[in-house]
């Protein structure tokens, strides 16, 4: 044993002659690379693992040094026999280690670790330069599908020196379906074209390599450019060689835009009028009509109030929830500029009934949640991590987190006669919040901005709203346009839509900038944004892919079909079956998109199965849009859907009693469900089905009326279960 | 702390075992329509609880009178004199148990209509004309539709009175086009000003914020030419302290913008009218003041009926710097208001206000600034959010309000019931009287009542020096004749050698609140003080001192008072636990009086109470559960009616049988008569059943109050005459 140690030390001494090691520069990156300080391992909050706790991703080297060298009575390191140190034997799984083998014995990392212990475990070397940045090469690269590219990461230090840290860096693709990155920095593309970012991390610094994977197909035919959106989308398509699909037909457009703006199918009358209209600007007019309808306000209020956590936990919440939902809806109806809406929420004061956005402060009570929700929802910045440690993928420090929190430090609350409901006012005083770790009082500051001196009389939340809505704010407008882009195109220019950061670049940066500029130039006009999006030819492209573009997932070469959301689907079924769903406390005829809070989700198996959110999260991802077996079964068999098919005076009965000839009745049905005329084949098949004699449960023949009604019920059932119905395409 | 009735363990499950909370009192719940045009007659229909044998419908102004509609028990023809004051008045009825709680009745200048049939769809929208008021009741889970003819560019004002006229409705007003598509919305009780873009039909939709409905959700929809004032409303309890006596109706200075940063020059004293407009408005005033001065600052805004929270900051301006002198926030409630938690820990009335009434002292000659802000105004831009700012030298004064003592039940009931001053014979009822003191006045206030019905007396239990509340005991003699009067409650105090008399505003709950968790108690000030005594029932228990005299006691000694008790109902348990109200005596040690004891000697340790020599009035108070029968006298009457109906029916049946075979025409008539008799019989049976049920003994929790007891405490060593 002793002999081995001598031999080992001998080796160490040999290489030591080259350069003495330091914890910060040499050891910490090894621990990070090995995953020792990952959140799930020794960086687990409070406890770490078995008393050994490291800071997340090594952002606090002093604490980590303390933990390794001094804590646990120094048992984690054993300088007389460095390779016997617990940190070495555990990491290399020489002794049992729950975390498994993270460092290969004998590897370069292993040797460095051992040598560092042998050298007396210096924290830093005298005059050790500090890491100033990391450089990824190449920073931008165009790669063909299914090819590989090695990245090189160079660390730059304060003394101007640099070194290759590729092996010690961490690599992560933001879309793993498009590309993967190995631990050694080898990037491999799949067959999906587009742009993918590889995030690189080393020593608390982050950088990114943007990989463009063109399809390289010929792009000969392009739709004309209607507005700046088309300009940027088509330019991108041309560059990466993805030919766009043609513009969709009128039926598809009307159905698509009605679902996306109004959250509903077009009515039979609207469809007929639109299809018969020959004016060249009829699509623009349809957009305009939808934008000025209360349906637009209802639909988007539904979207926003879910994110603003309009949640019913007690019966008494009903007043607050109805008031807040209605307030949002009214402001959308009146097209209040977006920055004003946000301002009224952020800086709300008074009681809920007199000023409904106060309801947000009923739901979001803690300043930390207020910061996190505001940052994620309105700025597209996820600050959660920075409460406890430096954000691992971001530049946000803990100090910046508490500086943001300081905007919410002067919120005064007084109890009201309603349990759980406070009235909110601005409490005079200096706005400041204590840094959780340093215990220093911090003044408010916008993200990336210097701290502000806010007079004790001024409500800091108003200052926050001012900063957010300033035209130079790098987040506010972009976060909104990206969120709305996703609403219409299924995919954000940045994904997830509320995670804007340097290491997660947009797939079409020029388009994102142009959209944000349009939004700012229009003075935060939400309707104008929806108008410019839906009037663009990009939005109006067919969902049918051509021979090349089916594989495209992010360049918007064709429309990506979306399953209708739970509420829209339920309303659409109601509309097509001519039946009504009844909701508690609300007037008969109230549609699912107008439901004020989540209590209705609990009461409706349909809404639950189809993923209506419970309004507990600021993330749109709480709404489940994925398909499930339960959804298919519900549509096919559930009693509520069945009841709609067979409803008295419902569509089936109406069609049975109609005096129109059969093909015309079938046409009405198709127009209602798909907003299009049936094909000759569809009419023939439907007619044949309707003519079939039918028996009741006892095998007795049904009279012709009853049989026909059953036939229409079948037909309705079949149409509702098609993808053409269930999807917005 | 509070000399309040304490929660008793045996009341724990009051609602669970069907106990009734407080003896039934008459309550007027609805009047339809809820108002009328001055100079017109209007037929109204009333509903209420515990109001049998209604004889009169009276109002808080003599300019409105009412006569019963012959042949009905719940309809009146109301005559509104042409000169009747416009605004909201109180209406109440006189019934078997006396005067009822009040209900708002509005007098307007506009023609009024009543919605008579359902208007819950666009197709059934009720047409109304510009310049009218429609009285209606909201249907649950529905929207009421109205239509009107709009004229291009002629702005109309739409306003829905509800909360301010005692309704439970939180109105939502929507102005829509002829097809019902929404154009403008107001959900916060405000007015909609709408300028029609073209001539044509427009729609007004009204609904409750949470689509509640029913007879308690009434409203008055006013459609007028713009500009128009919002409809008048009743006053919140906080308004008890506004205005100060002798304040001119309008201020003599107006706020002048811009004054957010550049201060408006004023001189003190001042009386300024301003507004918190636009959003985040700051009104800054600058003045000079001299060392040693003390200035009192009062701001009224919330007390004017607005949703505001004024705040005043006074700063000294010196060498270009501002130094804080005073921050003036809310007017504190004189009694802790009950929290919305599980336990009842104060009255559900708030005589405090978010308004300001405070002072600042001047430490050196110089220039000073006073800022006024609305702490609720950060994002609200409403020119109607006005205030009045008064800066004055000390003018010591006081404002008073009173309300019936409520029971300390938990379980959310909290007994937030309207409690009219309708007394039973032998009754003694306690009221809390609170004071808002102005400008440093901290002297004693003596409370008394005037113009009481015969056999009714009142004793104000003094509000002590520096204290914020006291009690008022109203007692009816056990032989008091049936009576009604409009009384006055007054408070008197000596300030600077002069006696000041101030009225006490009476507050009451708008609705009996069964579950305060879901149904928030809504108290308000009443227009006047109606008092009645009924001979129809007697109080379950009367407690008084054995003799009607001033007892004498010696400070620092033990004092014994012989009590006389008259038990008229059965009580549960074995004894009642007794405490006291009244300055100096509220801290007495609780003692028991056995049930059915007709006499009892109360022993009070004056030393423990640290009573100083002087004249005192106090009353004992307790809580008990008695067996109470509601209107048993109705049972024999109903029985007689039932028998009569039975006889009539038998006769009609016999007659029908007799003529059936002989005369077809007569048989038809007889059959008709028989049918009527059957209906009468059903009604009589149903009435019999209901009066029998209510006349069954019900466990009823009631606050028990003694008649006031007067005692003169002499200094130790003085002669004591009576023991």
Sign of the CA dihedral with B201 first, then B202, B208, and B211 last? positive
Helix (H, G, I), strand (E, B) or coil at A271: helix
Contacts of A580 in chain B (CB under 8 A): none
Asked if residue B33 has a cis previous peptide bond (ω within 30° of 0), the answer is yes
Q: Which of A213, A260, A220, A219 is nearest to A551 (CA)?
A: A213
HSE-CB for B400 with a 13 A CA cutoff = 29
Q: Return the residue in A426, A461, A465 with the most chain B beta carbons within 10 A, the one to mutate for interface testing.
A: A426
CB contact under 8 A, B307 and A588: no
Q: Return the residue in B282, B379, B513 with the most chain A beta carbons within 10 A, the one to mutate for interface testing.
A: B379
Which parts of chain B sit beneath pLDDT 50? 1-17, 411-413, 415, 720-723
Interface of B with A in 334-363 (CB under 8 A): 339-341, 348
Task: Measure the CA–CA gap between A18 and B102, rounded to whole angstroms.
Answer: 97
Q: Does B696 touch chain A (CB under 8 A)?
A: no
CB contact under 8 A, A457 and B187: no
CB contact under 8 A, A457 and B185: no
Task: Measure the CA–CA gap between B210 and B205, rounded to whole angstroms.
Answer: 14
Listed in sequence order, the residues at least 6 apart from A455 whose beta carbon sits closer than 8 Å to its beta carbon are none
The answer to whether the CB of A630 falls within 8 A of the CB of A609 is yes
Q: Does B210 touch chain A (CB under 8 A)?
A: yes
Interface of B with A in 298-317 (CB under 8 A): 307, 309, 311, 313
Query: Could you give the C-alpha distances from B460 to A50, A588, B347, B422, B432, in angstroms and in order?
Result: 72, 55, 19, 18, 10
Sign of the CA dihedral with B143 first, then B147, B148, and B154 last? positive
Q: Does B327 touch chain A (CB under 8 A)?
A: yes
CB contact under 8 A, B307 and A350: yes
Task: Measure the CA–CA gap between B140 and A340, rounded to whole angstroms.
Answer: 34
Q: Return the residue in B189, B378, B384 with the most chain A beta carbons within 10 A, the one to mutate for interface testing.
A: B378
Q: Are strands B397-404 and B428-438 parallel, antiparallel or unpaired?
A: antiparallel
Contacts of B142 in chain A (CB under 8 A): 587
Q: Which of B612, B618, B683 is nearest to B472 (CA)?
A: B618
Burial tier of B408 (Cβ tally within 10 Å: 0-12, 13-18, 19+): buried
- Choosing among 3.10.20.10, 1.10.460.10, 2.60.120.380, 3.20.190.10, the CATH entry for B132-225 is 2.60.120.380
CA distance B351 to chain A (A): 14
b/e per residue A539-558 (b: at least 16 CB within 10 A): bbbbbebbebbebbbbbbbb
Which parts of chain A sit beneath pLDDT 50? 1-17
The answer to whether the CB of A212 falls within 8 A of the CB of A143 is yes
Q: Looking at the partner chain, which of A293, A457, A586 has a beta carbon nearest the beta carbon of B211?
A: A586
The answer to whether the CB of B625 falls within 8 A of the CB of B699 is yes
Contacts of A428 in chain B (CB under 8 A): 311, 313, 327
Q: Looking at the partner chain, which of B280, B341, B518 has a beta carbon nearest the beta carbon of A315?
A: B518
Q: Return the residue in A316, A358, A419, A595 with the most chain B beta carbons within 10 A, the one to mutate for interface testing.
A: A419
Q: Looking at the partner chain, which of A322, A334, A457 has a beta carbon nearest the beta carbon of B210?
A: A322
Query: Could you give the C-alpha distances from B320 to A177, A452, B49, B258, B368, in angstroms and in order?
Result: 65, 22, 66, 20, 11
Q: For domain B396-539, give the CATH number.
A: 2.60.40.10
What CATH architecture does domain B238-395 belong to?
Answer: Sandwich (2.60)
Q: For domain B26-108, give the CATH number.
A: 2.60.40.10
Task: Measure the CA–CA gap between B247 and B70, rounded to whole angstroms.
Answer: 47
Q: How far is CA B488 from the centre of its chain?
A: 16
Domain range annotation of chain B: 26-108, 132-225, 238-395, 396-539, 634-696
Q: Looking at the partner chain, which of B181, B341, B380 has a beta carbon nearest the beta carbon of A294?
A: B181
The domains located in chain A, with CATH, are: 2-118 (no CATH), 131-213 (2.60.40.1080), 225-237+480-560 (no CATH), 337-469 (no CATH), 646-728 (no CATH)
CB contact under 8 A, B327 and A428: yes
* Strand spans (E) along A159-255: 162-164, 170-173, 179-181, 186-189, 194-202, 205-213
Helix or strand (DSSP H, E) at A466: helix A460-469
Q: Return the residue in A317, A335, A423, A425 with the most chain B beta carbons within 10 A, the one to mutate for interface testing.
A: A425
ipTM of the prediction: 0.89
Phi then psi for residue B628, to 5 deg, are -125, 135
Contacts of A347 in chain B (CB under 8 A): 378-379
Helix (H, G, I), strand (E, B) or coil at B683: helix
Contacts of B380 in chain A (CB under 8 A): 349-350, 355
Contacts of B210 in chain A (CB under 8 A): 318-319, 322, 585
Closest residue on chain A to B518 (Cα): A316
Contacts of A425 in chain B (CB under 8 A): 309, 375-376
CB contact under 8 A, A425 and B375: yes
Give residue A648's pLDDT. 94
Q: Looking at the partner chain, which of A334, A418, A587 has a beta carbon nearest the beta carbon of B211?
A: A587
CA distance B208 to chain A (A): 10
Interface of A with B in 459-488 (CB under 8 A): 459, 461-462
Contacts of A463 in chain B (CB under 8 A): none
Q: Does B123 touch chain A (CB under 8 A)?
A: no
Sign of the CA dihedral with A344 first, then A345, A350, and A354 last? positive
- DSSP code at position B480: P
Q: How far is CA A316 from the centre of its chain?
A: 32
Q: Render pLDDT for B276-315 as a digit per residue (tens, 0 to 9).
A: 999 999 999 999 999 999 999 999 999 999 999 999 999 9
Q: Does B211 touch chain A (CB under 8 A)?
A: yes
Give residue A35's pLDDT. 87
Closest residue on chain B to A416 (Cα): B340
Phi then psi for residue B48, to 5 deg, are -170, -175
Listed in sequence order, the residues at least 6 apart from B682 whose beta carbon sits closer than 8 Å to its beta carbon are none
Fold agreement between B132-225 and B238-395: yes
Contacts of B184 in chain A (CB under 8 A): 334
How much is the pTM?
0.90
Can you give the three-state secondary structure of B36-68, one letter per residue? EECCCEEEEEEEEECCCCCCEEEECCCCEEEEE
Q: What is the DSSP string of B222-283?
A: EEEESS-PPPP-PPPGGGGG-SPTT--SS-SEE--SS-SSSPEE--SSEEEEEE--STT-EE
* Strand spans (E) along B362-427: 366-374, 386-392, 397-404, 421-425
- DSSP code at position A504: B
Give residue B722's pLDDT. 42
The answer to whether the CB of A209 falls within 8 A of the CB of A197 is yes
The answer to whether the CB of A314 falls within 8 A of the CB of A420 is yes
Give residue A391's pLDDT. 67
Interface of A with B in 332-361 (CB under 8 A): 333-334, 343-344, 347-351, 353-356
Interface of A with B in 670-689 (CB under 8 A): none
Listed in sequence order, the residues at least 6 apart from B654 whose beta carbon sits closer than 8 Å to its beta carbon are none
């Amino acid at each position: 044993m002793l002999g081995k140690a001598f031999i080992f030390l001998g080796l160490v001494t040999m290489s030591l002659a080259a350069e003495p090691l330091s914890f910060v520069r040499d050891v910490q990156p090894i621990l990070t690379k090995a995953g020792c300080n990952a959140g799930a391992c020794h960086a687990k909050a409070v406890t770490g693992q078995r008393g050994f706790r490291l800071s997340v991703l090594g952002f606090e080297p002093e604490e980590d040094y303390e933990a390794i060298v001094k804590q646990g009575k120094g048992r984690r390191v054993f300088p007389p026999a460095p390779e016997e140190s617990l940190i070495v034997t555990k990491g290399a799984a020489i002794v049992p280690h729950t975390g498994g083998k993270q460092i290969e014995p004998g590897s370069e990392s292993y040797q460095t670790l051992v040598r560092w212990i042998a050298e007396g475990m210096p924290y830093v070397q005298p005059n050790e330069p500090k890491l100033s940045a990391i450089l990824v090469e190449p920073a931008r690269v165009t790669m063909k599908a299914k090819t590989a590219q090695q990245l090189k990461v160079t660390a730059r230090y304060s003394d101007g020196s640099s070194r290759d840290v590729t092996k010690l860096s961490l690599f992560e693709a933001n879309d793993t379906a498009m590309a993967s990155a190995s631990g050694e920095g080898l990037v491999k593309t799949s067959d999906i074209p587009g742009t993918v970012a590889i995030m690189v991390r080393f020593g608390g610094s982050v950088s990114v390599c943007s990989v463009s994977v063109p399809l390289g197909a010929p792009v000969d035919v392009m739709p004309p450019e209607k507005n700046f959106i088309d300009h940027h989308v088509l330019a991108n398509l041309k560059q990466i060689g993805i030919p766009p699909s043609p513009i969709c037909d009128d039926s598809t457009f009307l159905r698509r835009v009605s679902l996306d703006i109004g959250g509903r199918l077009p009515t039979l009358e609207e469809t007929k009028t639109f299809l018969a209209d020959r004016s060249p600007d009829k699509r623009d007019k349809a957009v305009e009509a939808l934008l000025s309808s209360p349906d637009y306000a209802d639909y988007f209020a539904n979207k926003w109030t879910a994110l603003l956590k309009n949640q019913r936990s007690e019966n008494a919440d009903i007043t607050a929830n109805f008031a807040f939902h209605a307030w949002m809806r009214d402001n959308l109806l009146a097209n209040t500029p977006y920055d004003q809406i946000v301002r009224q929420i952020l800086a709300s004061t008074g009681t809920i009934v007199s000023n409904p956005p106060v309801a947000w402060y009923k739901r979001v009570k803690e300043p930390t949640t207020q910061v996190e929700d505001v940052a994620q929802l309105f700025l597209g910045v996820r600050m959660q991590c920075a409460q406890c440690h430096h954000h691992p993928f971001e530049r946000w420090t803990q100090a910046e987190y508490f500086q943001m929190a300081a905007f919410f430090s002067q919120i005064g609350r007084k109890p009201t006669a309603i349990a759980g409901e406070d009235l909110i006012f601005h409490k005079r005083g200096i706005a400041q919040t204590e840094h959780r770790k340093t215990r220093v009082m911090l003044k408010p500051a916008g993200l990336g901005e210097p701290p502000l001196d806010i007079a004790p009389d001024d409500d800091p939340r108003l200052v926050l709203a001012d900063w957010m809505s300033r035209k130079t704010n790098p987040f506010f407008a972009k976060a909104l346009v990206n969120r709305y882009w996703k609403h219409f195109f299924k995919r954000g220019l940045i994904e997830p839509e509320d995670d804007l950061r340097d290491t997660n670049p947009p797939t079409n940066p020029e388009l994102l900038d142009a959209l944000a500029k349009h939004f700012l130039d229009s003075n935060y006009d939400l309707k104008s944004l929806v108008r410019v999006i839906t009037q663009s030819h990009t939005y109006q492209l067919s969902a049918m892919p051509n021979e090349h573009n089916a594989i495209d997932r992010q360049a918007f070469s064709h429309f990506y079909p979306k399953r209708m959301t739970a509420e829209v689907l339920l309303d659409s079924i109601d509309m097509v079956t001519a039946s009504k769903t009844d909701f508690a406390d609300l007037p008969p005829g109230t549609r699912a998109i107008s439901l004020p809070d989540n209590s209705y989700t609990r009461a409706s198996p349909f809404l639950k199965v189809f993923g209506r959110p419970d309004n507990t999260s600021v993330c749109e991802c709480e709404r489940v849009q994925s398909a499930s077996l339960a959804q298919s079964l519900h549509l096919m068999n559930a009693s509520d859907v069945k009841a709609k098919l067979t409803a008295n005076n419902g569509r089936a009965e109406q069609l049975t009693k109609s005096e129109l000839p059969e093909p015309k009745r079938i046409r009405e049905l198709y127009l209602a469900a798909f907003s299009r005329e049936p094909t000759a084949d569809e009419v023939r098949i439907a007619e044949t089905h309707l003519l079939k004699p039918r028996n009741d449960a006892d095998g007795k023949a049904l009279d012709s009326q009853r049989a026909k009604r059953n036939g229409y019920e079948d037909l309705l059932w079949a149409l509702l279960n098609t993808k053409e119905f269930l999807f917005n395409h | 702390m509070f000399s309040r009735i304490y929660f008793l363990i045996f009341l724990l499950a009051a609602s669970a075992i069907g106990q009734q909370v407080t003896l039934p009192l008459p309550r007027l719940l609805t009047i339809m329509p809820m108002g009328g045009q001055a100079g017109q007659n209007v037929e109204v229909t009333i509903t209420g609880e515990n109001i049998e044998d209604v004889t009169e419908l009276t109002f808080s102004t003599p300019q409105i009178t009412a006569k019963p509609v012959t042949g009905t028990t719940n309809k009146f023809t109301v005559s509104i004199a042409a000169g009747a004051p416009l605004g909201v008045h109180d209406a109440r009825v006189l019934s078997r148990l006396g005067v009822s709680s009040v209900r708002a009745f509005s007098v307007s200048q506009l023609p009024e209509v009543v919605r008579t049939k359902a208007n819950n769809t666009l197709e059934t929208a009720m047409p109304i004309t510009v310049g009218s008021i429609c009285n209606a009741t909201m249907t649950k889970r529905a929207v009421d539709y109205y239509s009107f003819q709009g004229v291009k560019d002629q702005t109309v004002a739409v306003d829905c009175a509800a909360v301010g006229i005692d309704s439970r409705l939180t109105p939502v007003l929507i102005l829509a086009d002829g097809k019902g598509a929404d154009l403008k919305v107001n959900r916060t009780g405000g007015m909609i000003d709408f300028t029609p873009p073209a001539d044509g039909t427009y729609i007004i939709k009204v609904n409750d914020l949470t689509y509640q409905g029913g007879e308690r959700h009434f409203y008055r929809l006013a459609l007028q030419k713009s500009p128009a004032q919002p409809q008048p409303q009743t006053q919140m309890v906080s308004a008890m302290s506004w205005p100060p006596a002798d304040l001119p109706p309008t201020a003599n200075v107006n706020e002048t913008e811009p004054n957010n940063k550049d201060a408006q020059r004023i001189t003190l004293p001042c009386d300024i009218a301003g507004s918190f407009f636009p959003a985040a408005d700051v009104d800054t005033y600058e003045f000079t003041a001299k060392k040693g001065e003390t200035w009192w600052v009062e701001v009224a805004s919330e007390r004017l009926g607005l949703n505001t929270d004024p705040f005043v900051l006074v700063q000294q301006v010196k060498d270009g710097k501002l130094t804080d002198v005073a921050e003036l926030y809310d007017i504190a409630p004189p009694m802790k208001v009950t929290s919305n938690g599980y336990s009842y820990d104060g009255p559900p009335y708030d005589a405090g206000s978010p308004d300001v009434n405070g002072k600042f002292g001047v430490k050196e000659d110089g220039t000073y600034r006073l800022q006024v802000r609305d702490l609720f105004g950060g994002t609200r831009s409403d020119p109607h959010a006005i205030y009045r700012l008064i800066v004055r030298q000390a003018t010591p004064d006081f404002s008073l309000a009173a309300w019936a003592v409520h029971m300390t039940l938990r379980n959310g009931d909290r007994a937030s019931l309207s409690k009219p001053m309708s007394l039973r014979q032998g009754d003694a009822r306690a009221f809390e009287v609170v004071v808002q003191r102005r400008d440093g006045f901290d002297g004693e206030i003596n409370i008394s009542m005037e113009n009481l019905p015969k056999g009714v007396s009142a004793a104000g239990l003094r509000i002590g020096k520096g204290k914020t509340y006291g009690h008022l005991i109203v007692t009816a003699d056990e032989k008091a004749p049936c009576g009604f009067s409009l009384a006055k409650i007054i408070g008197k105090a000596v300030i600077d050698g002069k006696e000041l008399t101030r009225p006490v505003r009476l507050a009451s709950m708008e609705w009996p609140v069964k579950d305060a968790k879901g149904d928030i108690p809504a108290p308000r000030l009443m227009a006047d003080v109606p008092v009645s005594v009924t001979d129809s029932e007697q109080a379950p228990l009367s407690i008084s001192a054995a003799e009607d005299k001033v007892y004498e006691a010696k400070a620092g000694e033990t004092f014994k008072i012989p009590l006389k008790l008259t038990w008229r109902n059965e009580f549960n348990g074995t004894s009642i636990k007794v405490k006291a109200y009244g300055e100096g005596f509220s801290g007495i040690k609780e003692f028991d009086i056995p049930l059915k004891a007709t006499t009892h000697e109360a022993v009070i340790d004056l030393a423990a109470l640290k009573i100083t020599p002087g004249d005192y009035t106090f009353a004992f108070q307790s809580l008990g559960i008695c067996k109470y029968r509601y209107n048993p006298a109705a049972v024999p009457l109903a029985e007689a009616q039932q028998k009569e109906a039975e006889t009539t029916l038998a006769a009609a049946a016999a007659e029908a049988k007799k003529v059936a075979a002989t005369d077809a025409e007569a048989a038809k008539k007889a059959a008709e008569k028989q049918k009527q008799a059957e209906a009468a019989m059903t009604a009589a049976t149903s009435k019999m059943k209901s009066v029998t049920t209510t006349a069954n003994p019900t466990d009823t929790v009631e606050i028990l109050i003694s008649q006031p007891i007067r005692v003169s405490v002499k200094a130790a060593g003085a002669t004591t005459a009576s023991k």
